[in-house]
Amino acid sequence: MTDITGDRILIYTSKGQSIGAWGPGDGDLKRPRGTAVDKAGRILVSDTGNHQIKNFSADGDFIAKIGRFGSGDGEFCEPSGIAVSASGNFYVADHGNDRIQKFDSDGRFVTKWGIQGSADSQFQDPTAIAVDKSENVYVADSNNNRIQKFAADGQFITKWGTQGSGDGEFSYPSGVAVDGTGNVYVADRDNNRVQKFTPDGQFVRLLTPGFAQWEFDRPSDVSVDLEGNLYVANSGGQILKFTPDWRFVAQFGEPGSNPGQLSYPKGLSVASDGRVYVGDTGNHRIQVFSKEDSPVSGITKAIIVAGGGPYAGNNIWDATEMCANFAYRVLTYQGYTKDTIYYLSSDTDLDLDGNGKLDDVDADATNANLQSAIQTWAKDADNLFICMIDHGGDGTFRMGATEILQATDLDTWLDALQQNISGTVTVVYDACESGSFLPLLLPPEGKQRVLVTSTASDQESIFVANGTISFSFFFWGHMFNGDSFYDSFVNANGSVGATYSQAPQIDVNGNGIGNEKQDKELAKLIKIGNETKTGGDIPVIGSVSPAQTLTGETSALIYAENVIDANGISRVWAVITPPGYSGGSSDNPVTDLPTMDLISVGNNRYEGTYSNFTTAGTYNIAIFAMDRKGVLSLPVQTTVNVSSSLPACDECTGDPMVLTNVTFASGTACECTAATSITIGTGVTIKSGGNVTFKAPTVKLQSGFHAENGAVVSIKQQ
C-alpha cells in the first residue's frame, strides 16, 4: 500500500503496524499514486508530482528512477497507475499525456498508445491500470467513464461503461484490479461503490455500503490478493478488506499523518507475500502493511491511569500526564481504538486523536472508577492491558491528591475479572517502589497475569526532563517504534540504566519474583498490539565524545556526531549523573539530574560545554536524540572522570599562608596546601565556576572573603 508523508516510504502491518521506512534523496516522493511489486520483490512507484517512476528494493533502498517531465517516449506528465506483468514488463497510465506507456523489466521504453479523446484507444485522464495473467491490459479511462481492454502490444480489444449510476455504468472510475481468474474489479469513485465484471466486461456484482461497521468514502483504488480477498482504498483515509465472497473483515488506517494514518490514498496494490502497498498521496509517502496478523485472539481492551493530578507539591504531574498520553497514542497506533481504551485522568479535557472533541479521557482517576473499569467496562474482554503512572510506595499507588490505591485492592478486582475472562491481564506500572507490587498481584490458579514494574521494591523511579527520561517514555517509545513487548522492556531497562541505578522488573510466570530466566523466555511470546515498526525513523547517534579525565578543570566539551534521522532531528541532549548520586528516599521520584542541550554546529554534529564537573569521581553521561516526530534514540554513553588530586594554586605561597586581595578566576580548579595554617583574608574572591580547596591543620576564614554563586570552596583541616 502506498502512503506518502515526509517524502519517504514507511512500511506497516495491515493495522497500521510499520515494518520499515526509506528515503529521502533520490527516493524523495511527491504525491505518489500507483504502486506495483514485480516478481523479484522490487517496488515500483508512480511519483506523480515529480513526473517519474521510481524503483526500490524490498528493503527500501532506492535503485533507479525513470523519466522526466515531457511528452516524448519515456517521459511523463503526472503518471498515475502502474502495473507489472508476470514477464516483468510494466505499464504506466501517463495521466497528463492521456496515454499508456510500456517498459521492459530494466526500465527500457517498449511502446506507447493513446491520445486525448473518446474513441477506441483514446483517453480522458487514464488513472488506473491492471494486467491479467495473459498480459491483457485494463485501463480506468476516468473522464470517459469506461474501462478499456488492450493486448500487451496496445491493440484495442473491448470497452465497457458509460456515465451513470446503473449496473455497468460509472462516475469517474478511479481504480481497477484483476483477480486470478480474470474477473475485473472497478472502484466507481463518485458512485461510492465497487463493481465486478467478467474479463470481457459483463456485469457480475455490485458492492455498496449498507452495513454499520463500514462505509465507502469515494473509493479511489482496488486490489485483489492471491487468496481472492478484495482491498478498497477510501479517499477519506481508510483501507477496507473483504473476503472473496465480499464479507467485510477488517478496516485499517484513519485520517492523519502519523504512522498508520492516511491522507487521500490514491494507490493500492497487494504483493504475492500479502503485503499491502498504499499510495498515501496527501502525505507524500508509501506505507506498506504486512498481511493481517491479529495480535491476540478475542477482544483486547486497555486501561490507562494517569494518577496524582495537579495537586500542590506534585512535582511529576506534567511528566505523568505526558507519559500517559504517549501510552494512549502508542496503543492507538498499535491497533487499539477509542472504544477499546479506557483512560482515567483528572484532566478530562483532552483531545489526543485530533478530532476536535475533548472526548478521549473517560473519567477522573479514582479508585472507584478504576474498579468499575476493571469489573464492568472490561468484563466482555478476553485480554486486558493496564498502564499505571504516578507516585508510589510500598504496596501503594497515589491515585489522587488524597486517595491511595492499595495493591491488595487492585489484586482483588483483577482476581474477580479473571474468574470470568479467558485471556491474560498485563499490568505495566511506573512509580517509586513499583516492584513491591510483584508478590501482591499474584494471578488466580490457572490464569495468566503479566506484571512489569519500573523499579525494584525499594527503589525510586526516575522522571527527568519532564518525563522524557523515564521508564515509561522509553518503554512506550520502543513500543511505538515496533519493538516487541519484551524488547521494549529490555531497551527501556537499558536506557534507564544509562542514567540512573534503577532495576525494572518483569514477572510472567506469576510467582511474584521478577526477572527470572523463565520470565524472560515467556515474555518473548507476549504481543501487545500490532508491533508497528518504524525502523527508518529511529534517530541514530553515530558516536559521542570519548571518555575524558579532568585534573584541575571543571569544564568539558560533550558532543555527538553523525546524528541522523529521516524525519530530521529536533533535539539532542545529555543527562549527567554525578559521582555517587542518590535521589533520596525510595518513595520520592528522581527529577533533578542535570541535563544539557547539545547545539547543532553542522554536519550532523551537536555539542555543548558543561561547566560543573566539580566533584571528584566519575560522571556518567547519557546522550539522547529525538526526531521531529517525537521518536527517541537509544542512549549512547560516555564518562568524565574528575581527578581527586587538584594542582597547586599559583596564588598560594608561604607557610603559614596568608591570602589577601587574591581573585580565583572562573574555571579555576586548584588546591592551596600549607603545613601549618592558612588564613583567608580580606579581598579574596572565588568567581562562579571556580573550585578551590584549602588544606592545612588550621584554616582561618576572615571577613571580606567572598565566594560567588556557583563557586565551590572546600576546607580540609588535617
> Residue 552 belongs to a domain with what CATH number?
2.60.40.10
Residues 203 and 111 in one domain: yes
Residues 236 and 349 in one domain: no
Q: How do residues 471-516 score in pLDDT, each as one tens digit?
A: 999 999 888 777 889 999 999 998 888 888 889 999 999 999 999 9
Q: Is residue 541 part of a domain?
A: yes
Residues 474 and 559 in one domain: no
Residues 554 and 425 in one domain: no
| Residues with Cβ within 8 Å of residue 181, at least 6 apart in sequence | none
Residues 263 and 306 in one domain: no
Q: Is residue 648 part of a domain?
A: no
Q: What is the pLDDT of residue 466?
A: 81
The string of DSSP letters for 59-112 reads T--EEEEE--BSSSTT-BSSEEEEEE-TTS-EEEEEGGGTEEEEE-TTS-EEEE
Q: How do residues 657-674 score in pLDDT, each as one tens digit?
A: 999 999 999 888 889 999
Tell me how far apart the alpha carbons of residues 447 and 470 are, in angstroms, rounded to a whole number. Answer: 31
Residues 261 and 358 in one domain: no
Q: What is the pLDDT of residue 477?
A: 85
Which amino acid is located at 259 in the chain?
P
Q: Is residue 2 part of a domain?
A: no
Residues 626 and 674 in one domain: no
Q: How do residues 175-206 score in pLDDT, each as one tens digit?
A: 999 999 999 999 999 999 999 999 999 999 99
Residue 585 grid cell:
528516599
Final residue belonging to a domain, choices 290, 318, 347: 290
Q: Is residue 184 part of a domain?
A: yes
Q: What is the pLDDT of residue 329?
A: 84
- Among residues of the chain, what percentage have pLDDT more than 70? 92
- pLDDT tier for residue 407 given thresholds of 50, 70 and 90: very high
- CB atoms < 10 A from the CB of 676, how many? 11
Residues 334 and 354 in one domain: yes
- pLDDT tier for residue 212 given thresholds of 50, 70 and 90: very low
Helices and strands (DSSP H and E) totals, the chain: 6, 53
The string of DSSP letters for 482-527 reads T--HHHHHHHHHHHHHTTS----EEE-SSSS--S-HHHHHHHTT--
Spatial CA neighbour of 489 closest among 509, 500, 474: 474
Spatial CA neighbour of 150 closest among 116, 171, 122: 122
Q: Is the pLDDT of residue 309 over 50?
A: yes
**Range of the structural domain that residue 582 is part of:** 535-642
Q: Is residue 649 part of a domain?
A: no
Residues 224 and 359 in one domain: no
Final residue belonging to a domain, choices 244, 269, 290: 290
> In degrees rounded to 5, what are phi and psi of residue 493?
-60, -50
User: Which of 429-438, 611-620, 670-679 has the lowest average pLDDT?
Assistant: 611-620
Q: How far apart are the first and last CA of the chain?
A: 76
Residues 140 and 256 in one domain: yes
Final residue belonging to a domain, choices 593, 618, 642: 642
Number of domains in the chain: 4
Residues 428 and 406 in one domain: yes
Q: Is residue 386 part of a domain?
A: yes
Q: Is residue 295 part of a domain?
A: no
Residue 344 grid cell:
482515567
